[in-house]
Amino acid sequence: MSGTGRNEPCPCGSGQKSKKCCGGKRPPLMSPSSPGAPLHQRDERLVNEMVRYAHARWGPAWLQVAADAYFDGAETQPHQAHLQLFMPWVVNHWDVEGRPVREWFLEEHGTSLSQEDVEWLRGQRAVVLTLWEVLEVQPGVGLRVRDLLGQEEHFVQEVLGSQQLHPRDAVLGRVAESAGVTVFCGLYPYPLPPLAAHEVVKTVRRELRVHGNRMVSRKRLMEEDTTLGLVLLWRGEVEFLEERARLEPRLTNTDGDPFILVEDHYTFAPEARPGVMKRLAALKGAEWDEAEGEEEQCTFLKKGNAMHASWQNTVIGRARLQATTMRLETNSVRRADALRRRVEAACQGLITHQSREETEPSKLREGPRPPPEEPPTPEMQEVARDMKARHYAAWLDTKLPALQGRSPRQAVGTAAGRREVDAMLKEVENREARLPAGERMDVTGLRRELGLVP
């Protein structure tokens, strides 16, 4: 179970070397220029020494048993990135004959180690594997993180971590400290967004029977079953998100109908065109747009919007008229059927239906790519921020399935509801943190409105 070497073929089957493929996609969150680099180097050296010691004492079988539990019996070798947590975990949290390899190693080789090495290994006895939420990022320096299962908060010296992570990201890892310097000392290679991490937290608390606002004790976090359970839960959420991302997204319009572009084609006699236009204009919600060349366009609206409470109208379709043809355009089969019935009833005797075309969203991506968009101007960014602010102002009083039919404003009336809404706001904050500064919306106002200001 030594993992895949960086110059060996990647186990994913791409044919590339591991360092050029999966082994290089997520470098460890450390840098030689970081104040924490010496601690990382010491820990990596000692972990390797402990693994060699364990091999010599128990043979390779001890590591295979641990790997089968950690990787849940996976038949393929783990990618190199996964070893950055597995190796510290296996010597510090996996019991061999009743205690971790670290304690056997200290007992037999402690007298031959430097005082700094002994102190580092003894300090590992207090290090737990837990979930850390990123509170603040100082690019090029490090991260301020908070334990989602306990109450600890640290500033972690991680240069690369500060370049890869965003506020409200969550990571699974071990945080260790020495001489006033704090580092990640074993980190699962893939972070989770806030809502996914919140699901892990809820499951852990439920399994450990930790109720209310009580924190999970460090003693429970140090138990072998707890550390292994955290890894398996975390991996499950990561794989779920990866699978969901691979699936074709189910696009819908604002009525919740599956998004399908539908075109109904009609013909009419040249002399019937004025009559068709007049009858279309008499339909409820019909508005004629400014003519473009020989084409006339009529937009059909309905009042309100099922998804966005702040919208006054919803466009349900358009009619485009040429000299002897008309094309009805809608974005779902249900809207197309309803609009077709209205138009054919109004224009009975004047138009003849010829054909219908339905285009799935996936087919649209097969066409030529549009030219790259120009960077948004400050005015455009302000409009985007204003639209988001109005959307979330309405969201406060929108009843949501995730809150059992309650609105966020209603849900914060209970402790459990407050935790759910807080996780939702963290998800918004996490998405906003990934945008250019000029496009970000400040979520503080929403938190203040709900009484959830940290």
Of all residues in the chain, the percent with pLDDT exceeding 90 is 61
The residue among 360, 295, 315, 313 whose CA lies nearest residue 333 is 360
In the predicted structure, residue 18 carries a pLDDT above the cut 50: no
CATH 3.30.70.1400 in the chain, residue ranges: 261-366
What does the angle CA 377 – CA 383 – CA 387 come to, to the nearest 5 degrees?
Answer: 145
Mean pLDDT for 31-60 is: 88
Band of residue 343 on the pLDDT scale cut at 50, 70, 90: very high
In the predicted structure, residue 23 carries a pLDDT above the cut 70: no
pLDDT score at 445: 92
Kindly provide the b/e burial profile for residues 39-65, where b requires at least 16 CB atoms within 10 angstroms of the residue's own CB: bbebbbebbeebbebbeeeeeeebbee
Q: What is the number of other CB atoms lying within 10 angstroms of the CB of residue 162? A: 21
Write out pLDDT tens, residues 357-393.
Answer: 988 766 554 445 555 556 778 888 888 888 888 888 8
Query: Are 341 and 316 contacting, i.e. CB atoms less than 8 angstroms apart?
Result: no
CA–CA separation, 183 vs 187, rounded Å? 10
Query: Are 100 and 92 contacting, i.e. CB atoms less than 8 angstroms apart?
Result: yes
The residue among 262, 392, 397 whose CA lies nearest residue 332 is 262
Write out pLDDT tens, residues 120-171.
Answer: 999 999 999 999 999 999 998 999 999 999 889 999 998 888 888 999 999 9
Q: Which fold has domain 261-366?
A: Alpha-Beta Plaits (3.30.70)
Q: Which of 56-70, 162-176, 268-282, 365-379 shows the lowest mean pLDDT across its residues? A: 365-379
Name the amino acid, one letter, at 43.
Answer: D
Long-range contacts of 383-387 (CB under 8 A, 24+ apart): 384/439, 385/439, 385/440, 385/441
Band of residue 246 on the pLDDT scale cut at 50, 70, 90: confident
CA pseudo-torsion sign 3, 126, 226, 144: negative
CA–CA separation, 326 vs 205, rounded Å? 61
In the predicted model, what is the mean pLDDT of the chain?
85
HSE, CB side, 13 Å, CA atoms: give it for residue 177: 10
Kindly provide the b/e burial profile for residues 68-80, where b requires at least 16 CB atoms within 10 angstroms of the residue's own CB: eebbeeeeeebbb
Write out pLDDT tens, residues 200-224.
Answer: 999 999 999 998 888 999 999 999 9
Q: In what order do the strands lie in the sheet with 286-288?
A: 286-288, 296-303, 313-321, 325-330, 261-267, 352-359
Mean pLDDT for 441-448 is: 92
